[in-house]
Amino acid sequence: MTDSCNSFKRLSQPSHWPPTPAPGAPAHRLVGPLPERAITCKPGSVGRVTATPPATTPASPDVSSSGTRPSDQRPPVSVPPQTPIGRIPVQDVRPVVDHGARPAKSVVDEVFTVSATVFREGHDAVNASVVLVDPQGREVLLPMRCTNEGLNHWEADVAADRVGLWSYRVEGWSDPYGTWEHDATIKVNADVDTELMLEEGARVLERALEEVERTPEQARPLRDAVTGLRDSRRPAQARLHAAIDPLVHAELAARPLRDYVTPSAAHPLLVERERALYGAWYEIFPRSEGATFDEETGRWTSGTLRTATERLPAIAGMGFDVVYLTPVHPIGTTARKGPNNTLDAGPDDPGSPYAIGSPDGGHDAIHPDLGTFEDFDFFVSEAQRHGLEVAMDVALQCSPDHPYVTAHPEWFTTRADGTIAYAENPPKKYQDIYPLNFDNDPPGAYAEMRRMIQVWLDHGVRIFRVDNPHTKPVEFWQWLIQDVSREHPETIWLAEAFTKPAMMHTLAKVGFQQSYTYYAWRNQKWELEEYCRELAGDAAAYMRPSFWPTTHDILTPYMQFGGPTAWKLRAALAATLVPTYGIYAGYELIEHVARPGVEEQIDNEKYQYKDRRWEDYEPGGPKEGHSLAPYLTRLNEIRRAHPALHWLRNLVFHHVDDSNIIAFSKRRTLPDGSEDIVLVVANLDPHSTRESTVHLNMPALGFDFHDTFAAHDLVTDESWHWGEHNYVRLGPAGEPVHVLAIRRF
């Protein structure tokens, strides 16, 4: 005999089971030990949460296929150190973050999979449901499907429709109707106990009518089935089929008769706004935007927040969603760094904006050269007018001239000789920066950092990019992010933590919505696939990656020597592999020259002004056609037009014969039922044009293996007739990347 999951899947479910509830099905009450609020499932293949409710049935003891109501008596249960396992074991619920100590994450309408192992003794049918609870305590019951009969593995695809703190649990239950259908199908076909089986089916359906509240219209298929089962004038097969009709299946899927309902623990789910998962960032140093150099005096004039505002139309025009500002605060003069990180800064050298603090103020002030808070507010309002959000750089470190140094010396580490320890990452030394010490006066330091963040919240900032969060206590970030979210739950935090995986993952678990990643150093096909599978797998329940091909700190050898092809390729991969990616200003100009001995740009903006003369690259300018701005614009247009690229967990890789060519796809069902499918094929070798064959996982694209489809290149506007196996030629001789929209013929 087969196990219960197997038998139920094979015999008591048609191929479309569980069927979609009828549109507009009214809500019903919950009874038994389940919560008293009503719950429902929005129509569709994916259980989307609505504020409207349905019904379930009592969590009664088990019942045989005879349809007899079981006893209400309860058995004794185990005591610590054992925890009662429940009548129907529900195990290994996922996603669960740190055993439920921290919430799993999603964004509004993002589909993710809840899974569990659910089974029972014997051969009676077992079933499972997910119960989602919204921030107001309303519930929705979603059917699960058995995806691995041998391992009793159950899954349901779910999505929450609004922000807030939700919860979910998995409920395992005995399925009296499924048990009866399985047994009756075998026995009636063999003419064994035929009348008895038909009568027992009628009694099961009568229980379903009695114990689960239904409208007359909803009850009609079940009443008709009871009548058919007891109509002795008809053949036995016809009577049986009256009770296993698709209409009966549909009604019992929407409002099942459930025995022995056994819930798992409730697990928290934090649902956030879409920008927490999806967005294109553009980084600028405000002082460089509008900076000018006087050839006669040899002196620079700093750009300002007002001149930086003039750059916003171009950034928005390229299709970016977020403009990220490096620190805008006063900069210290003690131990100020000169050009290219030298220690001999001249009187006109601006210093590093990460050496924060001077007599002009600290983290709650604006550098006088950049302007005033009125200018900052103007920048924010203009950014919003152009459809951009402003991200603020938070670097919790101080120059020796910061007001904190004299007002709160206890917030720093004092060495044996009485001096304050400056930042070091041997062999690197940062003499212009004092790290904060949060352990000497936690209440005072925590409160001041919270006050400082509030200053920028009050000026319209809702995204913070945090510099080196891994050098501060994790519990500090956990507290700060949660405290800010009480009044501003829309706030997003990006962790710039290029460090060991345990710290990166834990920062995400305690609250950071996004994280920089190792993407810049993952260049080979095998390591990109391995890394992205990790990010799109279990880690996606709490960690959202942000891919940056370069930053003001990072210029890898791949980018130094790969030429324009590498810069196009890495931007395209970053923009399509993950939902959030970022570009550092000047990327479009292919600024590839590194300072000797380090992997960062020469004449780095961290230490000096940079006038890129953007106007030279405009139409009619002397460098027209020498910018990747049109390519970046096209990538962002593609991202906005294709919602499949807004998600992470839908990433699927496909096989390519050449180890230098990578292929992956993303697929998403849209609210109107149509599908958005994007397939990317890229040559990772920026120096050679390569030819190979791509072998597609057709079911992952929604096709049968023999199907063909239209593959439209969204970059070049070319189209091809593709199927399971396809020839490609990519590289510097043409385009390094196909970004293909897939359409059925």
DSSP of 50-66, one letter per residue? -S--------BPP--TT
List the alpha helices (DSSP H) in 410-473: 442-458
Contact indicator for 696, 726 with CB cutoff of 8 Å: yes
Q: Is 467 a catalytic residue?
A: yes
C-alpha to C-alpha distances, 594 to 36, 552, 687, nearest whole angstrom: 64, 11, 19
The residue from 157, 183, 382, 467 that is catalytic is 467
Structure-derived torsion over alpha carbons of residues 417, 420, 423, 429, reported in degrees to the nearest 10: -50
DSSP-derived letter for residue 453 is: H
Beta strands 545-547 and 514-516: pairing type? parallel
C-alpha to C-alpha distances, 102 to 105, 163, 504, 543, 647, nearest whole angstrom: 9, 17, 15, 12, 22
Place of tokens 């070319």: 718
Phi, psi of 534 (to 5 degrees): -60, -50
The residue from 496, 605, 685, 735 that is catalytic is 496
Chain-centre distance of CA 422, in angstroms?
A: 37
Cα distance between residue 390 and residue 79, in whole Å: 54
Instruction: For residue 72, give both structure tokens.
Output: 């209400």
B/e letters for 137-148, b = 16+ CB within 10 Å, e = fewer, are ebbbbbbbebee
Which residues on neighbouring strands pair with residue 156, listed in sequence order? 114
Q: Is 496 a catalytic residue?
A: yes
CA end-to-end span of the chain, whole Å? 45
List the alpha helices (DSSP H) in 191-330: 194-211, 216-229, 236-243, 246-254, 305-309, 312-317
DSSP of 507-573, one letter per residue? HHHHT-SEEE-SGGG--SHHHHHHHHHHHHTGGGGT--EEE-S--SS---HHHHHSHHHHHHHHHHH
Cα distance between residue 538 and residue 540, in whole Å: 5
Cα distance between residue 162 and residue 142, in whole Å: 17
B/e letters for 443-472, b = 16+ CB within 10 Å, e = fewer, are eebbebbeebbeebbeebbbbbbbbbbbeb
Contact partners, residue 416, CB within 8 Å, separation at least 6: none
Neighbours of 721 (CB within 10 A): 10
Cα distance between residue 554 and residue 583, in whole Å: 12
SS3 262: strand
Instruction: For residue 395, give both structure tokens.
Output: 């670097």
DSSP of 601-652, one letter per residue? BTT-TTTS-----GGGGSTTSTTTT--SHHHHHHHHHHHHH-GGGG-STTEE
Half-sphere exposure of 322 (CA within 13 A, CB side): 29
DSSP-derived letter for residue 361 is: B
C-alpha to C-alpha distances, 7 to 121, 203, 524, 663, 731, nearest whole angstrom: 13, 21, 46, 38, 53
Residue ranges with strand state E in 287-344: 292-294, 299-301, 322-325
Instruction: For residue 677, give both structure tokens.
Output: 């499918």
Phi, psi of 651 (to 5 degrees): -75, 130
Q: What share of the chain is helix, strand, coil (3-state, %, to 5)?
A: 30, 25, 45
The residues annotated with a catalytic role in the active site are 467, 496
